[in-house]
Amino acid sequence: MKLDHIGIAVSDLDASCKFYRESLGFTVSEPEELPDRQLKICMVDMNAGGAQVELLWPTHPDSAVAKFIEKKGPGIHHLCYRVEDVAAKLAELKADGVRLIDSEPRPGAHNTLVAFIHPKSAGGVLTEICQPG
Ligand code: CO
């Protein structure tokens, strides 16, 4: 298991991309739309062994990220760890009594399979696991 990305909720995607690209000098991907999650995302390569920042911008006021921003403001939203097999990891976590948001893997960005662990079981941190496609 290793850190894959840090999800950051943003209220202005263009301004955030510009900050990471121009002010900090990182490489930022083109935006990808995730219609089922009502999000547009950009990935920022952090020059950290593949670990990235995922900028999350809500495309609809009902999206979970829009509600997060409304409640807490923009900022760190989740951590994501890469695993070889999300379904197998979920089974292990379930057996350990870990509270899950997703009991089954579901499609994420760039052909990944993902699942979320409830913050109540992860020290208050929304935690995602992902498996590359
Ligand atoms: Co994520």
pLDDT of residue 125: 97
If you measure from the C-alpha of residue 73 to the centroid of ligand 1, how many angstroms do you get, rounded to a whole number? 18
Question: Quick one: tokens of 99?
Answer: 């509270």
Q: How many angstroms separate the CA atoms of 131 and 83, rounded?
A: 5
pLDDT of residue 133: 82
Q: What does the pLDDT look like over 31-85, one tens digit per residue?
A: 999 998 899 999 999 999 999 999 999 999 999 999 999 999 999 999 999 999 9
Q: Domain range spanning residue 36? A: 2-131
Q: How many angstroms separate the CA atoms of 70 and 41, rounded?
A: 18
Written as one letter, the residue type at 124 is G
| pLDDT level of residue 111 (50, 70, 90 thresholds) | confident
If you measure from the C-alpha of residue 89 to the centroid of ligand 1, how many angstroms do you get, rounded to a whole number? 17
If you measure from the C-alpha of residue 61 to the centroid of ligand 1, how many angstroms do you get, rounded to a whole number? 19
pLDDT of residue 88: 97
Half-sphere exposure of 22 (CA within 13 A, CB side): 6
If you measure from the C-alpha of residue 53 to the centroid of ligand 1, how many angstroms do you get, rounded to a whole number? 9
Number of domains composing the chain = 1
If you measure from the C-alpha of residue 21 to the centroid of ligand 1, how many angstroms do you get, rounded to a whole number? 20
User: pLDDT: is 91 or 110 the higher one?
Assistant: 91
pLDDT (average), residues 9-28 = 98
If you measure from the C-alpha of residue 25 to the centroid of ligand 1, how many angstroms do you get, rounded to a whole number? 22
What is the CATH number for 19? 3.10.180.10
If you measure from the C-alpha of residue 22 to the centroid of ligand 1, how many angstroms do you get, rounded to a whole number? 23
